[in-house]
Amino acid sequence: MGATHQASATDKPYFFEDLTAGLSATFSKTVTEADIVKFAEISGDTNPVHLDAAYAATTIFKQRIAHGMLSVGFISALFGTVMPGPGSIYVAQNLKFKAPVKIGDTVTARVEVTGSVPDKKFVTFKTQCMVNDKVVIDGDATLMVPARG
């Protein structure tokens, strides 16, 4: 394992050669009702558990919940803007949805480098979304990352 480093939006984009096991980064956002409504409009996912409080009250969640893929979008934002940053391309993402995200929850997406495939310039990551230190989404991803030069 390499030394740990917490990347931030002020860091320069990472090249393939910069990414070593243990490097990590986070991105946090508080989910609003407007976020959920916009995501439903963009995605077409109008499941009433996300949009209708009366319906959601009859479900196991007892209230409206955010789309799981909205929170996954925070992982994508982290990859595209912080680490590795611009130029990186998603190749694969595995996900397990472990708990709901509710309006007003602050979701923290976290990615950590776990390995690489040098001949393909692929980097593998552990991915998670958390609310108050509780993992709500767990998974792993592979990205293609530009090399120097």
Q: What is the pLDDT of residues 108-139, one digit of tens each?
A: 999 999 999 999 999 999 999 999 999 999 99
CA distances from 146 to 28, 98, 113, 132 (A): 25, 32, 15, 34
State the chain's mean pLDDT as an integer. 93
What's the number of CA atoms in the CB half-sphere (13 Å) around residue 110? 20
The pLDDT of 100-109, averaged and rounded, is 97
* Confidence band for 54, pLDDT divided at 50, 70 and 90: very high
pTM: 0.90
Contact 7/82 with Cβ under 8 angstroms? yes
> What domains can be seen in the chain, in order of their start residue?
6-144 (3.10.129.10)
